[in-house]
Amino acid sequence: MKFRKFDDELVMRKPLVEAERLRPLDEGPDYDFEWSERLIEGADWTGAHGDGSLESSVIRNSDLSGAVLSPFEVVDVAVDHAVLSNARWEQATARRVEIIESQLVGWQAQFALVQDLYVADSRADFAGISIGTAKGPVVFERCRFTNATFLGDLSRAVFIDCVFPGADFSRVANAKGCDLRRSDLGRITGLMSLKGALITADQAVEIAGELATAAGFKLA
């Protein structure tokens, strides 16, 4: 098992994928698919519908925009340079999944269970990310979440060098332990739902006015 280490406290498992065992997948998703050890490269799944599972696989340079996968179990999968814009992952279970340098604009990700999810260097404007239960770290690094919406359990989430202009956190159910210390918190809505999240003293000063307004004070 390989690990991704961020600091002395934050370590997460990477997808377990053996490149030499991967077989090309030429078909698109259908209902009740079960795929393992597959290489999905250059695929066009735009607007596709299906349900099933994907394990120990790689998705690379592929277009999944508008695809609806529900329910969807994804385990030990690396997604690299893919387009998930306006795609929907519903009733999803994700374990040891990474999504790198991908387009996530309008992506609707409804995770029933998530463990060791890493999303980096991606644009997720207008995305909707919902987490039912987080049993392991969920890390977003260098991502942009303009007008995105977050829901559910963010207690295991860590945001590193992310920005959230216009993002809505008002429907977050649990933020205790959510680490926002390395991101820009300007222009967030729903700040009161982030009670228990970790921020720095400097961040608290920067968003003091927004916090006061969210708490019901009238600034004069």
Measured in degrees and rounded to the nearest 5, phi and psi for residue 136 equal -155, 175
Alpha carbon distance 176, 130 (integer Å) = 16
**Residue 209 pLDDT:** 87
Which two tokens mark 86?
């306006």
Pair 24, 17: CB distance under 8 Å: no
Q: Which contiguous run of DSSP H or E holds residue 78?
A: strand 68-80
**Residue 147 pLDDT:** 98
Q: Which residue, 167, 121, 118, is CA-closest to 142?
A: 121
Measured in whole angstroms, the distance separating CA 29 from the mean position of its chain's CA atoms is 21
Give the mean pLDDT of the chain: 96
Q: Which contiguous run of DSSP H or E holds residue 52?
A: strand 49-60
3 state DSSP class of 67: coil
Per-residue pLDDT of the chain (220 residues; tens, 9 = 90+): 899 999 888 999 999 999 999 999 989 999 999 999 999 999 999 999 999 999 999 999 999 999 999 999 999 999 999 999 999 999 999 999 999 999 999 999 999 999 999 999 999 999 999 999 999 999 999 999 999 999 999 999 999 999 999 999 999 999 999 999 999 998 999 999 999 999 999 999 999 888 888 878 887 7
Degrees, nearest 5: CA angle 173-11-83: 70
Residue 33, classified by CB atoms within 10 Å of its CB into exposed (0-12), middle (13-18) or buried (19+), is middle
| Residues whose CB falls within 8 Å of the CB of residue 174, separated by 6 or more in sequence, listed in order | 152, 153, 154, 155, 196
3 state DSSP class of 81: coil
Q: pLDDT digit string (tens) for 6-36?
A: 988 899 999 999 999 999 998 999 999 999 9
Q: Which residue, 155, 187, 194, is CA-closest to 171?
A: 194
**Residue 106 pLDDT:** 98
